[in-house]
Amino acid sequence: MQSKRLSKWSLIILRTMIIVISLVVLFLIFKPLFHSVISQSSEKSKLTESLIFQKQTNLGIPVRLKIPSLNIDTSLESVGLTSQGAVDVPKVYTNAAWYNLSPRPGEVGSSVIDGHSGWENGIQSVFDNLYKIKKGDKLYVEDENGIIFTFIVRDFRTYSPNEDTTDIFNSSDGKAHLNLITCVTARNVDQKSPNDRFIVFADKEE
């Protein structure tokens, strides 16, 4: 009886050893294949990242902005910050200006363009009619290489001087955006304070 029990346990042990050895053999056989698949996947991921980076770094400086619905077709200056730390404005009131510390239009992130409205002495400014913009309107930005990027207006709103403006300059969704900034004028009855800013939010057309 004891001999039968030993024989039974020996058989179980033998089967277990066979299974373990088989698994080890299969692992050794397919290990190079698994490594190759993982390596290829990693290389594809690196290539994709490289192409995205190359595409990003090949974008030119923006030179022109067009908003057909408002009959705006203007040159773009390049501006940084003033000595007081505010976003600078275009020197020519009929021009708009790309804020050069923001991404270039078409790059991931929020690119910012500002312009005057309600210029002194009744002289027409580039964004006098920006408040007439509508959701779904298209904006076109041309860079120095002649490449044109299309953006679609998603939203617009007025910001008071003390409001948090983080969402104008930052985004974390991995997409390209274009935001337009101008000062408030008396032309729009809903915008009463000259210290307020009217912002247009647009997303790059896919």
Give the tens place of pLDDT for each residue, 93-120: 999 999 999 999 999 999 999 999 887 6
The region, left, alpha or beta by phi > 0 then psi within -120 to 50, assigned to residue 157 is: beta
Q: Would you state the pLDDT for residue 124?
A: 85
Same domain as 36, residue 73: no
CB proximity list for 99: less than 8 A, separation 6 or greater: 79, 80, 87, 88, 111, 112, 113, 114
- Token pair, residue 38, equals 């993982």
Taking all residues of the chain, what is their mean pLDDT, rounded to a whole number? Answer: 82
> Do residues 201 and 177 make contact, with C-beta atoms less than 8 angstroms apart?
yes
Segment holding 51, helix H or strand E: helix 2-57
Same domain as 118, residue 173: yes
Residue numbers of the domain that contains 120: 62-204
Same domain as 82, residue 26: no
Q: Compare 3 and 76 and report the one with higher pLDDT.
A: 76
Same domain as 113, residue 155: yes
Among candidate residues 67, 66, 75, the one with its CA nearest the CA of residue 94? 75
Separation CA 167–CA 50 (nearest Å): 28
How many domains, the chain? 2
pLDDT over threshold 60, residue 46 = no
Same domain as 169, residue 126: yes
Taking only the tens place, the pLDDT of each residue in 121-146 is 667 899 999 999 999 999 999 999 99
Same domain as 172, residue 127: yes
The model's confidence at residue 16, banded by pLDDT at 50, 70 and 90, is confident
Same domain as 115, residue 37: no
Same domain as 94, residue 142: yes
Report CA torsion sign: 57, 62, 140, 103. positive
Same domain as 70, residue 42: no
The model's confidence at residue 55, banded by pLDDT at 50, 70 and 90, is very low
The CATH number of the domain holding residue 147 is 2.40.260.10
Q: Would you state the pLDDT for residue 39?
A: 53
Percent of the chain at pLDDT > 70 equals: 70
Q: What is the pTM of this model?
A: 0.70
